[in-house]
Chain A
Amino acid sequence: MPFIDLNLQQLQSKLAGGEFSSRELTRAYLDRINATGGSLNSFITICEESALAAAEAADIRRKKGDAAPLTGIPLAVKDIFNTEGIRTTAGSRILENYVAPYDATAIARLKEQGAVLLGKLNMDEFAMGSSNENSAAGPCRNPWDPNRVPGGSSGGSAAAVAARQAVATLGTDTGGSIRQPAGHCGVVGLKPTYGRVSRYGVIAYASSLDQVGPLARTVGDCALLLQAVAGFDPADSTSVDTPVPDYSAALGEDVRGLKIGLPKEYFIDGLDADVKQAVETAVAVYRDLGAEIVEVSLPHTDYAVACYYLVATAEASSNLARYDGVRYGRRVDNGSGLIDMYCRSRAEGFGDEVKRRIMLGTYALSSGYYDAYYLRAQKVRTLIRDDFNKAFDQVDLLLTPVSPTPAFKLGEKVNDPLQMYLSDIFTIPVNLAGTCAMSVPCGFSGQNLPIGLQLIGRPFGEETLLRAGHAYQQATEWHLKTAEI
């Protein structure tokens, strides 16, 4: 079996058993990336030299008997993580030559274990987008159909796993940016609870919503990667100081007696027929496995997208003020003075969608509009969070579609920002509530496009998510299908 067909758990045991070295494995992945990465445009930067050096160091570490779970495992990460000495662009022209001077905490934790970093993955500029079309590096394509988007903003992170260019990747999720591309590319994507993983060194979009999480082909592999990056970090004052459980231990338990809620607001008229059928079939699988299925209500679902596009853009307008052409990033010439230099550097460096969101956020926070927009949105956020709290009084998990349709075509929604925003209608509420959720492959459309199932858990309920996701993958074979590329 070629290396690239193995999952992370299998790679671990074969590396441990000495069947191949990390250097051989890393070489195989780099060859795969070089052969297939160009047509998908999944990578922004390939780290060939440093990856091979890290692989050799991992092999030496293993010989010394000092291997950690991820020692020698080749991974790739969204180009939003600061990686010391490696160009980090966040998909933006304004950062096209930025070389990170330090590692994000999540990256440092992977490196401590001796993981191998293959490269930096394509993404929507500053994580703003649902299609990976807003990237200064050009759009990334869906491995299942190159005329379609991989989803976004972590499009490269999902496409690389689906194309078997990396066994697992890290992405970030602010309104669905891990789960939606995972769903569109037929892989597993986990957005942990807000505060579970440090955001230190992750280029910020909307700080009260951003969260780091893994993408992989199996739920078990996501558990391994989450284990590596989860936990309190003094450098991120919003990371939560609560013990990290043994996530892999949760995988063994069955779902008998688990109460799963179907929020009626997520099974609406606009839902694509293939998506509806795939999700209903998944519900039947859970029923057969012994879970109890009940209908619940999240009554403020319909307001989540509007709420999100005020909260997220307000935070973005503030976060992106740091790109001023002074300390790092693009600067045009000095112009007619400091303010002129700021204004022209930013106008030249940012893409259209980023400008649109900065403008919306600035407007929502501006004098005379703050109460009507930003403050009202924060109050609606409370109502949305209360919906989830009430639902979790009744059930252990929620089950929904990830997206209303399978992956759409490149160019289909670029000129209609509102339609693009509405494609995240099922993922956005989770970020506003701050809880955890996971996308799991659950079927294919008539056009052979992957469909994703979303499981939503209580805050810090990742173990229940993993347990239910793993049980589903034991009972189904959707995750074993591979894109032909």
Chain B
Amino acid sequence: MSMTREQVAHVARLARLDLADNELDRLAADMDAILSYVDKLNELDVDGIEPTAHAVPMENAFREDRVRPSIGTEKALINAPAGDDSCFLVPKVIE
């Protein structure tokens, strides 16, 4: 298989990455090489094999529903690229 620049650009949009044309071309070549390598998984018959999502089989991990101290507004905002006293600021979403 061979990835086109258009396909790579589509994936970049899904991944929210604004990539330059030369980056798209390089990624197309890299992804091609890596995806042809991972195609070796098709050599295996996996019919009827249960997928493993996690190393430790675990059902829902419940804990008591109890109010505990949390990090607080001030601390939560210290790394905000843009914020005021109580919230994160983002570019206008609704016109």
Whether A363 lies near B79 (C-beta < 8 A) is no
Kindly identify, within residues 37 to 95 of chain B, every residue whose CB is under 8 Å from any CB belonging to chain A: 37-44, 46, 49-56, 58, 61, 63, 71, 75-76, 78-82, 88, 90-93
Contact indicator A335/B91 (Cβ below 8 Å): yes
A184 within 8 A of B: no
Q: How far is the CB of B15 from chain A (nearest CB, A)?
A: 4
Q: Is B6 an interface residue (CB 8 A)?
A: no
Is the interface on chain A under 10, 10 to 19, 20 to 34, or 35 or more residues?
A: 35 or more
B27 near A355 with CB under 8 A, answer: yes
Cα–Cα distance between A173 and B84 once the two chains are bound (Å): 38
We find that the number of chain B residues with CB closer than 8 angstroms to chain A is 50
Q: Is the CB of B91 within 8 A of A337?
A: yes
Q: Is the CB of B31 within 8 A of A382?
A: no
Of the candidates A327, A337, A344, which one forms a contact with B80 in the assembled complex, judged by CB atoms under 8 Å apart?
Answer: A327
Query: A378-B51, A379-B49 in contact; A331/B15 too (CB < 8 A)?
Result: no
Task: Pick from B19, B52, B91: contact of A341, CB below 8 A.
Answer: B91
A105 smallest CB distance to B (angstroms): 14
Q: State in angstroms the CA–CA spacing of A238 and B71 once bound together.
A: 22
Note all chain A residues with C-beta closer than 8 A to B37.
Answer: 305-306, 309, 418
Interface string of B6-42 (1 = CB under 8 A from A): 0010011111111100010001001101110111111
Q: Is the C-beta of A426 less than 8 angstroms from some C-beta in chain B?
A: no
Candidate in B17, B37, B44, B80 with the most chain A CB atoms within 10 angstroms: B17
Q: Does A358 contact B (CB under 8 A)?
A: yes
Instruction: Say which residue of B18, B30, B56, B80 sits within 8 Å of A240 (CB atoms).
Output: B56
Chain A, residue nearest B48 (CB) = A379
CA distance A329 to B82 in the complex (A): 10
* Interface members, chain A 194-244 (any B CB < 8 Å): 194-195, 208-209, 234, 237-238, 240
* Contacts A360-B34, A373-B38, A434-B56 given; does A382 touch B17 at CB 8 Å: no
| Nearest CB of chain A from residue B26's CB, rounded to whole Å | 8
**Chain B residue at minimal CB-CB distance from A102:** B71
Complex CA gap A434/B41 in Å reads: 20
**Residue pair A99, B15 in contact (C-beta under 8 Å):** no
Contacts A327-B79, A342-B16, A350-B17 known; list 20 others, CB within 8 Å. A101-B75, A102-B75, A194-B56, A195-B56, A208-B54, A303-B40, A303-B44, A306-B41, A329-B79, A338-B90, A359-B15, A360-B34, A362-B11, A376-B46, A377-B41, A378-B53, A379-B50, A381-B52, A382-B50, A417-B34
On B, residues with C-beta under 8 Å from A are 8, 11-19, 23, 27, 30-31, 33-35, 37-44, 46, 49-56, 58, 61, 63, 71, 75-76, 78-82, 88, 90-93
